[in-house]
Amino acid sequence: MTIESSFAARDRTAHPLDIATRLERSSNGRLHGATAEDYWNMTGPWGGTTAATLLRAALESPSRFGDPVALTVNFCAPIARGEFFIDLREVRRNRSTQHWSIELSQDGQGVAATASAVFAARRETWAHRPAVMPEVPPPAALRPMSTEGRNAWLQRYDFRFVEGEPDFGPRAEGALSGTRSRVWLSELPARRLDFLSLAALTDIFFVRIFQVRGRMSPASTVSLTSYFHVDETDLAALDPQPLLGTVDSRVFTKGYFDQSAEIWSPGGALLATTAQTVYYKE
Amino acid sequence: MTIESSFAARDRTAHPLDIATRLERSSNGRLHGATAEDYWNMTGPWGGTTAATLLRAALESPSRFGDPVALTVNFCAPIARGEFFIDLREVRRNRSTQHWSIELSQDGQGVAATASAVFAARRETWAHRPAVMPEVPPPAALRPMSTEGRNAWLQRYDFRFVEGEPDFGPRAEGALSGTRSRVWLSELPARRLDFLSLAALTDIFFVRIFQVRGRMSPASTVSLTSYFHVDETDLAALDPQPLLGTVDSRVFTKGYFDQSAEIWSPGGALLATTAQTVYYKE
């Protein structure tokens, strides 16, 4: 029995994200987990599950302090189907912050992903919210994007595009779409929004090059940074999903482009902001 | 003679940034450097020099491959005046990318800053520049901000604000300024723009909380991520400085706020984009 099927067998009622990101401690002290078919992307696990798995290592550490504030994930190499190991190191602990270094590797393959995470004890302070959620039609007024027959991870979410739904239909040679998308997002099946869900969601936005050119081409996120603007208390008090995601890019040049995104609660709170750099081949 | 004065004595003609970020190999194989008074901030070295120093460790490695694409710096603890050590590790090298892990520590103080950097061989591809430089008055039409008597690092730059110059004058109780600033930036003395200059510049933007409230208060960058949209060839072909910087924030809550910025060449190329999360006390 593979590790994954062993996890699944024990957790028949668990959400697929909990199974995909599950970690256990090996006899040698390292954490280990396994890739999940439920979140498979084109040639490896979807980056959102990798980000959530790396964060989970710190979230579940007995010495965890506070809530995640910043997470950077570097995707170093493809992750193969099967088992992986995670090495977690507390780099520094201060009075109100904790810095983690996290690495994912596979036997005989070296390091496939690294992460740094900053945790902090958050407390009430002066607050200010200059950014406001864009006014968009409600999710009920929009149809869900069809994910049937597509990569497994897409089927773990309900996508309702307000604007910028990828259009892979015929288009004039060289015609480009806009870079921005706005989309209502829900987890399938539903899941209580926590930092695992949120970390995964920061990588949910289709790489902009597909959107702009209206076709798939070799491209992959190389580095992803997410900032969380909520703590556990805020998350527990939130309205249910769907969440509003907005994403845009500014420059595509010499094989790399930037991509920035926001995730808003249905009530208009900015939950997370992210930035990433994405490799593209041609 | 301190390390710093030894560096300075040998480099009378060197730019202060080259001196501040200079690294030498110790007999034990570690890199070491020293903080520079020329870039001193309130209670430690300015974060821009720390970012540039960490990047420089990888830039000058004999096994360096390609140019920096992404840099994340986590500021874990204050850096004290004096000597520091840098440990550089190549985490992974692929056909076209290289991943680095970099740590700065001081004797008896543990790790003060960590960084991850992605380098890549960049080559001509399809390019697209949906973001355009804002139309603003030229630097010659604007007066430089006075930095006299202020923290040393401020005196290493010429700041000419188009909008959002910090106003620390009297204001009505609770009155808030906008979060956005736009500013022309030049290094003082002039320096050829390279990745060291650019890495430092990504931390040049005053933390937005000062700007919004019109007063100084305890605040410091905790994690800074920068993406570079140029390679060495592009940098060599650029018009001289000044560069146009734009910066904004979206949410201040429970002790942390986000801050995002862009750095544009005078000719309108987007050279770098950054995001950071900043701690504030009250």
- ipTM value, please give it: 0.95
Proportion of chain A above pLDDT 90, given as a percent: 91
Question: In the predicted model, is pLDDT for residue B3 greater than 60?
Answer: no
Q: How many CB atoms lie within 10 A of CB A10?
A: 10
Q: Give the mean model confidence (pLDDT) for residues A239-245.
A: 92
Interchain CB distance below 8 Å, A252 and B129: yes
pLDDT category at A150 given cuts 50, 70, 90 is: very high
Torsion of CA B74, B78, B79, B80, to 10 degrees: 180
Segment A3-21 mean pLDDT: 75
pLDDT at A221 over 60: yes
Query: Is B2 a residue whose pLDDT tops 80?
Result: no
Q: Which of A223, A99, A116 is nearest to B101 (CA)?
A: A116
Structure tokens at A135: 């006014």
Task: Read off the amino acid at residue B157.
Answer: Y
The answer to which of A12-21, A264-273, B248-257 has the lowest mean pLDDT is: A12-21
Q: Which of A76, A104, A207 to mutate to test the interface with B (most CBs of B within 10 A)?
A: A76
As a dihedral over the C-alpha atoms of residue B173, residue B178, residue B179, residue B185, rounded to 10 degrees, the angle is: -110
- Give the pLDDT confidence of A56-87 residue by residue, as tens digits: 999 999 999 999 999 999 999 999 999 999 99
- Cβ <8 Å between A74 and B130: no
B59-116: per-residue pLDDT in tens? 999 999 999 999 999 999 999 999 999 999 999 999 999 999 999 999 989 999 999 9
Pairwise CB contact (< 8 Å): B130 & A249: yes
Q: What is residue B17's predicted lDDT score, i.e. its pLDDT?
A: 98
For chain A, the structural domain boundaries read 3-121+136-280
Tell me the percentage of chain B whose pLDDT exceeds 70.
Answer: 96
Task: Supply the pTM of this predicted model.
Answer: 0.96
Residues A118, B225: C-beta atoms closer than 8 Å? no
> What single string gives the DSSP state of each residue in A22-72?
--EE-TTS-EEEE--GGGB-SSSB-HHHHHHHHHHHHHT-TT--SEEEEEE
Q: Chain A residues with CB inside 8 Å of B175's CB?
A: none
Chain B CB contacts of A116 below 8 Å: 72, 74, 114, 116, 223
Which helix H or strand E contains A100, and what residues bound it?
Answer: strand A97-106
Are B114 and A116 in contact (CB < 8 Å)?
Answer: yes
pLDDT attached to residue A11: 63
Task: List CB contacts (< 8 A) between B218 and chain A.
Answer: none
Q: What pLDDT score does B108 carry? A: 86
- Distance to chain A for B109, nearest Cα, Å: 10
Q: How many CA atoms lie within 13 A of A252 on its CB side?
A: 23
Q: What is the dihedral of CA B186, B187, B193, B197, to 10 degrees?
A: -120
Count Cβ–Cβ pairs < 8 Å, chain A vs chain B: 215
Q: State how far the Cα of B203 lies from the Cα of B213, in Å rounded to an integer.
A: 20
pLDDT at B6 over 60: no
C-alpha span between B63 and B72 (Å, rounded): 20
Query: Would you call B99 and A114 a contact, using CB atoms and an 8 Å cutoff?
Result: yes
- Average pLDDT over all residues of chain A: 95
Which of B54, B65, B74, B207 is best to mutate for the A interface (most A CBs within 10 A)?
A: B74
Does the structure show a pLDDT above 50 at A131?
yes
Contact yes or no for B118 and A277 at CB 8 A: yes
Which stretches within B23-76 are classed as H helix? 47-59
Cross-chain residue pair B254–A76, CB shorter than 8 Å: no
Calculate how close chain B gets to A117, using CA atoms only, in Å.
9
pLDDT confidence of A125, banded at 50, 70, 90?
Answer: very high
User: Is it the case that residue B209 has pLDDT exceeding 70?
Assistant: yes
* Chain-chain contact of A229 with B253 (C-beta, under 8 angstroms): yes
Query: pLDDT grade, residue B1 (50/70/90)?
Result: very low
Q: Which of B112, B116, B125 sits opposite A74 (nearest CB)?
A: B116
Q: Which residues of A touch B179 (CB under 8 A)?
A: 130
Residue A221 near residue B227, CB atoms below 8 Å: no
In CATH terms, B3-122+135-280 corresponds, of 3.40.980.10, 3.30.450.40, 3.40.50.1000, 2.40.160.210, to 2.40.160.210
In chain B, the residue whose alpha carbon lies closest to the alpha carbon of A115 is B116
Whole-Å CA distances, B264 to B142, B162, B202, B271, B272:
17, 14, 11, 6, 7
Q: Spell out the residues 6+ positions from residue A51 whose beta carbon is closer than 8 angstroms to its own.
A: A71, A73, A115, A199, A200, A202, A203, A224, A226
Mind listing the pLDDT tens digit for each residue in A183-203? 999 999 999 999 999 999 999
Q: What is the CATH number of domain A3-121+136-280?
A: 2.40.160.210
Distance from the B282 Cα atom to the nearest Cα atom in chain A, whole angstroms: 5
